[in-house]
Amino acid sequence: MNFDDYERLSFERKKDGVLLMYIDRPEKYNAADKRMLTEFVTVWPDIANDEETRVVVVTGRGKAFCSGGDLQEELEKVANYQAVVTSMEEARKLVENMVACDKPIISAINGPAAGAGLVVALLSDISIIGADVQFTDGHINIGLAAGDHAALIWPLLCGMAKAKYYLLTGDRMDGRQADELGLVSKAVPREQVLEEAMSVAGRLARGPQHATQWTKRALNSWLRLAMPAFEASLALEMITLFSEDAREGISAFLERRDADFA
pLDDT for 72: 87
Kindly report, residue by residue over 191-241, the tens digit of the pLDDT: 999 999 999 999 999 999 999 999 999 999 999 999 999 999 999 999 999
Mean pLDDT of the chain: 96
pLDDT for 115: 78
- DSSP characters over 46-60: HHHT-TT-SEEEEEE
Please give the single-letter amino acid code of residue 105: I
Residues sharing a CB contact under 8 Å with residue 35, sequence separation 6 or more, in sequence order: 7, 8
pLDDT of 51 higher than 90 = yes
pLDDT for 70: 86
pLDDT of 69 higher than 90 = no
pLDDT of 80 higher than 80 = yes
- The sign of the torsion formed by the CA atoms of 208, 117, 21, 94 equals positive
Just give the CATH number of 9-192+206-254: 3.90.226.10
Kindly report, residue by residue over 109-135, the tens digit of the pLDDT: 999 998 788 999 999 999 999 999 999
Percent of the chain with pLDDT over 70: 100
Confidence of residue 34 (pLDDT cuts 50, 70, 90): very high
- Note the pTM of the prediction, 2 decimals: 0.96
- Let me know if 20 is exposed, middle or buried by CB neighbors in 10 A (0-12, 13-18, 19+): buried
